[in-house]
Structure 1
Amino acid sequence: MNFNHSEDRQMLTDTLGRYLQQRYPIEERHKISGSEDGWSSTHWEALAELGIVGALFDEGAGGFGGTGFDIAAIFEPNGRALVVEPFLGTLMAGRALAQAGGQEALLEKMILGTTLVAFAHEEPDSRYDLAGITTSAARADDGWTLTGAKAVVAQIEPADHVLVSARVTGSPGDETGIGLFLVERTADRLNVRGYPLIDGGRGGEIGLQETPAQLITADAYSLVEEAIAAGIVALSWEAVGIMDVLKAATLEYLRTRKQFGVPIGKFQALQHRMATIALEIEQARSAAINAADALDGDRQKRERAVSAAKYTIGRVGTLVAEEAIQMHGGIGMTWELPLAHYAKRLTMIGHQLGDEDHHLDRFVMLGQAA
């Protein structure tokens, strides 16, 4: 089968790649990542103007893409450049809003890059369980209020709105009764504690105490599950982009670093290790292709495919990051070498939206339920 991008997708990838190569070098990324904002609104608006954000959404949501392979076409070059702008949160929040319906005006602003919506689902004690939501929603005279906490919400500080999941009815751990609510970033009794993330950019914790909110849908579990599946596809392709960079950087180092008068790449033991890395990266790429292809299929196939991809990305990502650093030696751990930052981001991707253990268990459980 031919898994190359279509002509339109390849043009999109090439456009994004050229932009990042010319305007988003590693020095610019470090500057943005270490800033008080943790992202660049200037770059975000420029990328939106190029249509990059719009490619994350289908025509019904005001975009022109939205498939798993459209997501892949954007996140793979993002991985190569270690982009810290809010693509992942925008993708998940936007897909959930689009599935819920009635939010066309807000989606249009998101696609134009003029409005930022953060996605807040995970909680301090949820441990990747999509139904482990204890944040509660209660009716108020003029709408709804939310009480609870959300953990590690990316780009929460500059967000204009926050899309928050909360339990409307049912017992904790039950898939029923989870709703989605839109909260203004400046809403009363919304407490945000921001901090820098270890792999770049900024995130934060959210505290809600009878915080005013707008109900988007009272039956949101399937929407959240689908949005997170899209997020896993995105992370998988971001990781593939990072792995390719690490492999290329390590090969170049093996060609140029000499020991005993010859390049260390001549040593058979290191050649075998690089061959293993290359094979494992292709395994990860295949899993990412499978997840992208299954994203718009039936729920069972989609969820097994994304869990398989996330498990594979986590396992292979750890191997590639460790091997790249070990074969570079001590220099591989230094701030000045870009490789260290790629390895750090790749390692953290393994823990976003569920780690290896979680998704292996989930893959098995979904298979038994089939």
Structure 2
Amino acid sequence: MDFDFSDDQEQLRDAVRKWVDRSYTFERRRAITGAGGFDRAAYGELAELGLAGLYVAEDQGGMAMGPVEAMVVLEELGRGIVLEPLKHTLVTSGVLGAYAPEDVRSAWLPKIASGEALVVLAHQERKGRYRLDVCEAQATPAGAQGWKVSGEKSIVPAGDQADAFLVPAKANGKIALFLVERQAQGVSTRGYPTLEGGRAAELTLRDAPATLVSEEGLTVLEHAVDIGIACTCAEAVGAIDKTMQLTAEYLNTRKQFGVTLSTFQALRHRMADMKMQQELARSMSYYASLKLNAPPEERRRAMARAKYQLGVSMRFVGQNSVQLHGGIGVTDEYAGSHYFRKLTQLELEFGDTLHHLGEVSARMQDTAGVFA
């Protein structure tokens, strides 16, 4: 099996890495965090690179690329702990491109690809935890082929800044998926900062006008979350890589008893253990991206396995990095603490480690332990 990246993929990686290094510095990120956790200008710069249209077809103004290219991009954005929710754009554009009616695709995908519109998934409810089949939001018919949606959704990424939402709601006793514009009547949001410095919101819908995307809402929602898991795994790999780099640099410069910390054998062993978790995370991120277009049941098993391993690796690398740094590892002025926060939050996104351990267990078959 060939795990080498193509020339086009390497050029894409190089372009994103250069943008992160030159334009999304740690100082700019701190300024964005202080201003609320989302910068439309920074998101526009990502769109100018073509990244918002990564999953959008060429005739809709996109790049028509796939999961591996998305993985390459998200790794580099993870290295820079970029706050702007590009992965959520990939989730929604992937879902709209695959399941939405033609008129919905034509109306929204070009705007998503250009960065004019930010559309995010709003699926979490307070009683649902990570279960996708728990949905109390309700949709009722309204006029000729129109709908109205009522309900509440939590932790919506950049929810008070987005232009529209993909919202699952029950219609005729079955979960369907709808598109709701933020400026529509009956829509209200309450924004707040997140752990790692980004932005989320509580979304309230009261008979909000909605457009039907798919009547098979649960099937589409599962696919959307799986795209999100694969993107989160790739983003985590980038953050882990940078965390390892910062930790190694610190151990090679900080002195104790007149010698650098990197000369202590016990600390070198800790770094070796962290390196092992880093490579396990990378291999399972590759696995997730390569399985993203597999049949639904196989895809769901793969995402649960990948997210579980990434959760273990994120926690291990993040916590050990803080311990090896000592007190400076948790100070706001030091970049390492922000990577630790990012890894902590990513471990919870789209299902935490214990949730996905349960998913792996529930989906075990006679070939348990052998990845097909």
TM-score by length of structure 2 reads: 0.94
Distance in 2 (CA, whole Å) between partners of 1:9 and 1:61 is 21
Mapped contact 1:61–1:98 kept (Cα < 8 A):
no
**Counterpart secondary structure, 1:152:** strand
Q: In the alignment, is the contact (CA less than 8 A) between 2:130 and 2:350 conserved in 1?
A: yes
Contact 2:182 2:188 in 1 (8 A): no
1:135 to 111, 134, 137: 137
Q: Indicate the residue corresponding to 2:148 in structure 1.
A: 145
Query: Matched residues in 2 for 1:118 and 1:243: separation?
Result: 25
2:33 is aligned with 1:30: no
Partner of 2:370: none
Stretch moving more, 99-108 or 319-328: 99-108
Aligned residue for 1:178, secondary structure, equals strand
Aligned to 2:156, what secondary structure does the other structure show?
coil
Deviations 1:129-166 (A, max 9, x none): 01111111111235211111101001111211111110
| Structure 1 residues 56-95: aligned runs within 5 Å | 56-59=55-58, 62-95=61-94
CA contact (8 A) 1:136 1:166 kept: yes
- Distance, in Å, in 2 between the alignment partners of 1:115 and 1:227 is 18
Aligned-residue offset at 1:337? 0.5
1:16 partner SS: helix
In structure 1, what residue type is equivalent to 2:148?
T
Match of 2:162 in 1: 159
Match of 2:205 in 1: 208
Alignment check: 8 A CA contact 2:61 2:114 kept = no
Q: Is the 8 A contact 1:34 1:201 kept in 2?
A: no
Query: Which residue in 2 is equivalent to 1:106?
Result: 108
What amino acid maps onto 1:121 in structure 2? Answer: H
- CA shift, 1:265, in A, is 1.0
TM-score normalised to the size of structure 1? 0.94
Question: SS at 2:205's partner residue?
Answer: strand
* 1:21-42 superposed Cα distances (whole Å, 9 cap, x missing partner): 1111011011112213x22222
SS in structure 2 at match of 1:166: strand
Aligned amino acid, residue 10 of structure 2: Q
Measured after TM superposition, the shift of residue 112 of structure 1 is 0.5
Conservation of the 8 A alpha-carbon contact between 1:58 and 1:67: no
Distance 1:369 1:355, change over 3 A: farther
- Return closer, same or farther for 1:55/1:242 CA change in 2, 3 Å cut-off: same
Indicate how the Cα distance of structure 1 residues 60 and 310 shifts in structure 2: closer, same or farther if over 3 A, else same.
Answer: farther
Root-mean-square deviation (Å): 1.6
In structure 1, how many angstroms separate the alpha carbons of the residues matched to 2:23 and 2:175? Answer: 42
In 2, Cα distance between the equivalents of 1:244 and 1:132? 36
How many residue pairs are counted as aligned between the two chains?
363
- 2:340 corresponding residue in structure 1: 343
Superposed displacement of residue 58, structure 1: 4.7
Are the equivalent residues in 2 in contact too, given 1:120–1:163 (CA < 8 A)? yes
Residue 149 of structure 2 aligns to a residue whose secondary structure is: strand
What corresponds to 1:174 in structure 2? Answer: none
1:6 aligns with 6
Identity %: 37
Q: How far 1:354 sits from its partner (Å)?
A: 0.2
Rounded to whole Å, the distance in 2 between the matches of 1:235 and 1:61 is 25
Q: Does structure 1 conserve the Cα–Cα contact (< 8 Å) formed by 2:39 and 2:84? A: yes
Q: Distance in 1 between matches of 2:60 and 2:132?
A: 24
Cα distance, 1:64 vs. partner?
2.5
Aligned residue among 263, 266, 271 for 1:269: 266
Deviation at 1:190, TM superposition (A): 1.4
Equivalence map 1:253-292=2 (5 Å): 253-292=250-289
